[in-house]
Amino acid sequence: MIAAIRFQLSGYARSTRALPPVLALALLLGIVFSGPLGGTPAEARSGALTALGDLAALYFPICAWAARGLLDTEPDAQRHIGVVTLGRWRAMACGFAAAFVFNVCLALIAGAVPLVEAARSGVRASQLLPAMALLLLAALAATALGALASRALIPSPGRSVLVLLGVYVLDLLLGLGPLRVVTVPMIEWMGAAGRGPSAFTDALPWFALRTLAWAVLATALYARLRRMRA
């Protein structure tokens, strides 16, 4: 399976499809970190955690886009060869894993500046690690959304982009109302991050649980829909 994951990552990295999400992330990081996170150590601590919270929500669609791009880099006939070579479930798992690995790299890039800044300004590892875990869980949920919008399930590129952006926007809108419990809690964690480190840290387990549940359900849906498709 590792060879198959390496093959898909290698194909994606060699194609130009990997570049747009990376550039979009660079642009996002440029905007978020255009100024210092804070003057005093206390402000820097607060600013670093706020940035981590904001980033997890803002880089979600970029990760979903990257996952879709990675899965769509493989031509249909090559995907068929992969299914025959590895078996249906293993081939699907390898594609998903490759997309998640790429998104973990994006998460590490996105989290690098606030993590370094937070560590320098004296934030404890016990506060940083859950925030980093949230970034990774957001990457997992975004990978599942990207997979659901991939060509294997939605052959039309236009519809696929609509589904990807539509689900993201719907998630943000539902996050404002009473149905927010069924969403990836992006609006809430941006709000919690803005209220300060303690509010953010306290809310992390609940956010993480909901994000994980969303990712598991979306991945299960992807697996079910792929069951009957080549």
Partner 1 sequence: MRFNQVAFRYRRRAPWVLRDVTLTVPRGRIIEVNGRNGAGKSTLLRLVAGVVPPVRGSVGDRPPSVGYAPERFPAGQPFTARAYLGHMAAVRGVPAARVGEWAERLGFTGLLDTRLPDLSKGSAHKAGLIQALLAAPGLLVLDEPFAGLDAGTRAALPALLAELAAEGSSVIVSDHQGDLRSVPGVVRWQVADQTVHEGDPPEEQTVVEVIVARSQAEDLVGRLKADGYEARLR
Return residues touching partner 1 (CB under 8 A). Answer: 3-4, 6-7, 10-11, 14-15, 74-78, 80-88, 227-230
Torsion of CA 226, 133, 188, 40, to 10 degrees: -150
Of the pair 195, 227, the CB lying nearest partner 1 is at 227
Nearest C-alpha neighbor of 141 from the set 86, 202, 59? 59
Of the pair 81, 209, the CB lying nearest partner 1 is at 81
- In one-letter notation, the amino acid at residue 142 is A
Provide, rounded to whole angstroms, the least separation between the CB of residue 177 and partner 1.
Answer: 34
Provide, rounded to whole angstroms, the least separation between the CB of residue 133 and partner 1.
Answer: 31
Of the pair 71, 140, the CB lying nearest partner 1 is at 71
Provide, rounded to whole angstroms, the least separation between the CB of residue 95 and partner 1.
Answer: 12
Provide, rounded to whole angstroms, the least separation between the CB of residue 15 and partner 1.
Answer: 5
- CA distances in angstroms from 188 to 32, 56, 143, 206, 218, listed in the order given: 18, 11, 20, 11, 20
- DSSP 3-state helix, strand, coil percentages of the chain (rounded to 5)? 85, 0, 15
Of the pair 6, 124, the CB lying nearest partner 1 is at 6
The two three-digit tokens of residue 34, written as one number = 């255009």
